[in-house]
Amino acid sequence: MSAPYTPSVTNEEQRRAVDLSGAAVHLFRFRGPLDLAYEYFCDVPAVFSLLPDVIDVLTYGPNRYRLIVGATDGHGHAMAGYFDVAAAFEPHRLIRIMPVDDGPPIDLSGFVFPGQLFAEAVFYPHAHGTDVEYTVELAMTIPVPKVLWFMPGSVLQAIGERAMEHKMNHMISGFSRAVDIDFHAWIGNE
């Protein structure tokens, strides 16, 4: 599903950055027909807004979105990652989210860095509704705040990997709960 990841920092900066990636798969089971489940997931900004820690979802072109996700590093440093993505649709079968590099200039202050996000939702009908297999992969290069430059790179990498694993678990569990609640409320209004 994913393409090779290109870090966002140069080799010179690399010694002061941590490369992180994570992946998760979740099976949603909806009590509703496939066409409604597909229609629900086609509203990419609304679905992305259900992810925990999302600051904003911006639409900047046809099927083009910028997802901005906030985090802290556990030491009081707030940061935000942004992901410019394009959505491709295969009606009633598949929605694929792919990274793009055509987003508008970034207009955020503070500790902000780009990342790459790949996601895929595959739809399967079953006797009592619809299954949606949702796969997501994230990759990013996070610059290390100057206050942490004294720490060895291997220690920073290990801390970053543990934080990323925790973040992915937090995001997929929160996302699955929010989507389940939101979808069933949405289908009740259809």
Averages of pLDDT over runs of 10 residues in the chain (190 residues) are 52 66 89 92 95 93 94 67 96 97 88 92 93 92 79 80 79 86 82
Kindly state whether residue 185 falls inside one of the protein's structural domains.
Answer: yes
Instruction: Give how many domains the chain has, as a whole number.
Output: 1
pLDDT of the residue at 5:
53
Which CATH number belongs to the domain containing residue 65 in this structure? 3.30.530.20
Say if CB 92 and CB 123 are below 8 A apart: yes
Kindly state whether residue 3 falls inside one of the protein's structural domains.
Answer: no
Kindly state whether residue 54 falls inside one of the protein's structural domains.
Answer: yes
Helix ranges (H only) for 43-152 are 44-48
SS3 164: helix
Q: Which domain holds residue 109?
A: 18-189
Kindly state whether residue 35 falls inside one of the protein's structural domains.
Answer: yes
SS3 62: coil
SS3 88: strand
pLDDT of the residue at 101:
94
Element (H, E) at 141: strand 129-143
SS3 33: coil
Kindly state whether residue 2 falls inside one of the protein's structural domains.
Answer: no
pLDDT of the residue at 6:
54
Say if CB 60 and CB 104 are below 8 A apart: yes
Place of tokens 């997802």: 67
